[in-house]
Structure 1
Amino acid sequence: MVRSIVVGAGMVGLATAWHLQEHGVEVTVIDRTGVAAGSSWGNAGWLTPGKTIPLADPSLWTYGPRALMDPDAALHVPFRVDAGLWSFLARFASHGTHGAWDRTMASLTPIDRMALECFDELTAGGVAAETRKGPFVIGFTEEAHSKGFLREIEGVIRHGQDVPIERLENPRELAPQLSDAVKVAYRLDGQRFIEPGPYVQALADAVTARGGKLQTGVAVRSVDSAGQPGVTLADGERMIADSVVIATGAWLPQLARPLGVKVRVQAGRGYSFTVDTDEPARHPVYLPFQRIACTPYQGRLRIAGTMEFRQADEPVQPRRIQAIVNQARTLLTGLDLDDRHDEWVGSRPVTPDGLPLVGATRAPGVYVAGGHGMWGIVLGPATGKMLAERIVTGKTDPVIAPFNPLR
């Protein structure tokens, strides 16, 4: 029996394990904490290939400097001496051009186009969790604020995606949580959403139901291929297999850098919380100018936002949650933003060029799957499918060729 060890029990790692099982591989998934313990639990849960786009764009050059001076801005960078962080930011900003955006979008489009089908494949294969269709309601306080969003959608369509969008005259029919301050709104179709924590747990359950092993609370100290691919645990035990996949999100460099993966992965931390609503929340709401995403979640509304460039393991910064609250107060109604539940921070793995890291390392039989930035949930199943095929067949599909981790 061919065996594989997957390090990381988030969406990407578990999807890779599931697809390896489809090829008859025996899998063991290891995680230092538990299922969906990283950025897979408290995110907005959006399956929106129409919004899976480069994070750096030309607006960064005007928005970024202003954001650094605004404590409530969605982008936050702490003022500190951190050469690695400022080096990352310089490289990240260098991709904020029209040409770089188009090149990155061209590389993302093939995997974007297959993303939703891969969720359907998981459902057909026994993963007991549903995806829910939109529409998504996109709101702005004034016409001028919508221009950047519409330009992004036009770019996505130009690169080959079908993204139905239309103007709404009365957005509160679909999203009663929007206040009267929202004057301009659009309806975005062709996208879906999930409750991410329960979904990833269902995926873990499917992997174990098919014979996979799941070991949580187990820390991996290193990965190598000395004699045979394997992992060394914190207690010194070495586990071997025919292949190893590192899918540890923002912590990926700790294990992958010694194996030739030199692309920096920076934690772009996002925050979220849930609140009760006077009227049931039925559809996701997006406030692009404020970078706030709202999703129906277990009878409440989950409100997520911010991009905070800090170290992955730093504690929660309450000021960032308050920043989301301050931005949301005038834009949302019928909910008590002071009675918050499930306050959370998760570290999204951001690369300077906006492309994931999916493929082989310099160590034979060792692979990585990560660096998806904000898009690990929507691209996780497609990533797992493509990487599993690469591991089993030795052939790299053109879909993931731009994501070479040794670039």
Structure 2
Amino acid sequence: MGRGFRAVRGHARRAAAARRGRAGRGRSGDGGPGGRGSRRGPYHRGDLLGGRVVIAAGVWSREVCASLGVRIEMAAGKGYSFSVPAESVPKRLVHPCSAKAVPAPLGKGVPVAGTMEFDRDPDRFRQGRVQALVAAARPYLPGAGWERREQEWMGPRPMTPDGLPLIGPVPGRPRILLATGHNMLDLMPAPAAGRLVAGLLTGEADPGLAARVRPVPIGPAAPGTGRGLSG
């Protein structure tokens, strides 16, 4: 999972950098905002041409949209985890609400996860957060090898102000769709989000559902009245 997040982050940054590098120069087939033609996007084997583009890069979608001159109202809610060897592995997930740390059985080790850290930098790893998880979970796992923990990991959740995802056309650029902001639901809404994105691309989306999660620009005269984006 950690490698996967780094791969998404790296691709998002390359896409944003490539977009910024082309800004103002123009390219054949770009079509301009709302115009005709194909959209061109960077890919690890070269550029790809397509009639529509979907930005689905988690919290790093902010960087891609920023390269288009659009700001996403989305924060990185970072969660931390690690795996610790234990003499007695729990038979089921343990959720001590007061501790804010969740040990769960998995193989010979016990993954421990928790924390919601809001940070402007989605990539910054704070070792102190791991130490806080150790202190919180220690009473619930006697005999665990806390100093032999492995797979320390951090993942930034894409958090939106109203808790709803941002799925729909980027304002002013109807051929570019945004699909991010799933907050703490991780992969659970992926099938429904995929169906909605497919419906938006084919014109068969549920209009009521699409309206609820559609990114709406925040107007300068009335800040905070739209959802998610400002240009």
Normalising TM by the smaller chain, what interval? Answer: 0.7 to 0.9
Structure 1, unpaired ranges of 5+: 1-9, 11-32, 41-215
2:52 is equivalent to residue 243 of structure 1:
yes
Give 1:373's aligned residue. Answer: 183
- Residue 264 (structure 1) shift: 1.0
1:113-138 C-alpha deviation (Å, 9 max, x unpaired): xxxxxxxxxxxxxxxxxxxxxxxxxx
> Alignment RMSD, CA only?
3.2
Q: Is the 8 A contact 1:39 1:346 kept in 2?
A: no
TM-score, length-scaled by structure 2: 0.72
Give 2:129's aligned residue. Answer: 320
Give 2:24's aligned residue. Answer: none
Give 1:256's aligned residue. Answer: 65
Q: Secondary structure at the match of 2:141?
A: coil
- Residue 357 (structure 1) shift: 0.6
Letter in 1 for 2:96: L
Map 1:233-382 → 2, pairs under 5 A: 233=42, 238-257=47-66, 262-362=71-171, 363-382=173-192
1:234-257 C-alpha deviation (Å, 9 max, x unpaired): 99x642212211111111122224
Check 1:285–1:388 CA distance in 2 against 1; reply closer, same or farther (3 A cut): farther
Report the Cα distance in structure 1 between the residues aligned to 2:31 and 2:108, rounded to whole angstroms.
Answer: 47
Q: Is the 8 A contact 1:251 1:312 kept in 2?
A: no
Structure 2, unpaired ranges of 5+: 21-29, 217-226
Check 1:283–1:231 CA distance in 2 against 1; reply closer, same or farther (3 A cut): farther
Report the Cα distance in structure 2 between the residues aligned to 1:308 and 1:277, rounded to whole angstroms.
Answer: 27
1:26-52 C-alpha deviation (Å, 9 max, x unpaired): xxxxxxx96x32599xxxxxxxxxxxx
Report the Cα distance in structure 2 between the residues aligned to 1:225 and 1:296, rounded to whole angstroms.
Answer: 52
TM-score, length-scaled by structure 1: 0.43
Check 1:217–1:384 CA distance in 2 against 1; reply closer, same or farther (3 A cut): closer
1:51-75 C-alpha deviation (Å, 9 max, x unpaired): xxxxxxxxxxxxxxxxxxxxxxxxx
Letter in 2 for 1:297: L
Report the Cα distance in structure 1 between the residues aligned to 2:184 and 2:119, rounded to whole angstroms.
Answer: 15
Report the Cα distance in structure 1 between the residues aligned to 2:156 and 2:128, rounded to whole angstroms.
Answer: 16
2:214 is equivalent to residue 404 of structure 1:
yes
Report the Cα distance in structure 1 between the residues aligned to 2:125 and 2:67, rounded to whole angstroms.
Answer: 29
Check 1:266–1:243 CA distance in 2 against 1; reply closer, same or farther (3 A cut): same
Report the Cα distance in structure 2 between the residues aligned to 1:264 and 1:39, rounded to whole angstroms.
Answer: 23
Check 1:316–1:302 CA distance in 2 against 1; reply closer, same or farther (3 A cut): same
Report the Cα distance in structure 1 between the residues aligned to 2:89 and 2:162, rounded to whole angstroms.
Answer: 39
Give 2:14's aligned residue. Answer: 219
Report the Cα distance in structure 2 between the residues aligned to 1:229 and 1:281, rounded to whole angstroms.
Answer: 54
Q: Secondary structure at the match of 2:113?
A: strand
Q: Secondary structure at the match of 1:323?
A: helix
Report the Cα distance in structure 2 between the residues aligned to 1:298 and 1:397, rounded to whole angstroms.
Answer: 45
Report the Cα distance in structure 2 between the residues aligned to 1:325 and 1:383, rounded to whole angstroms.
Answer: 35
Q: How many residues align?
A: 199
Report the Cα distance in structure 2 between the residues aligned to 1:300 and 1:372, rounded to whole angstroms.
Answer: 29
The structure whose residues are more often strand, as a share, is 2
> Identity percentage over the alignment?
30
Map 1:21-100 → 2, pairs under 5 A: 36-37=4-5
1:217-243 C-alpha deviation (Å, 9 max, x unpaired): 9821239763435344399x6422122
Q: Secondary structure at the match of 1:296?
A: coil
- Residue 329 (structure 1) shift: 1.4
Q: Which is bigger in relative contact order (C-alpha 8 A, separation at least 6)?
A: 1
Letter in 2 for 1:392: T
Report the Cα distance in structure 2 between the residues aligned to 1:366 and 1:241, rounded to whole angstroms.
Answer: 10
Check 1:306–1:225 CA distance in 2 against 1; reply closer, same or farther (3 A cut): farther
Letter in 2 for 1:272: S
- Residue 322 (structure 1) shift: 0.2
- Residue 303 (structure 1) shift: 0.7
Q: Is the 8 A contact 1:386 1:397 kept in 2?
A: no
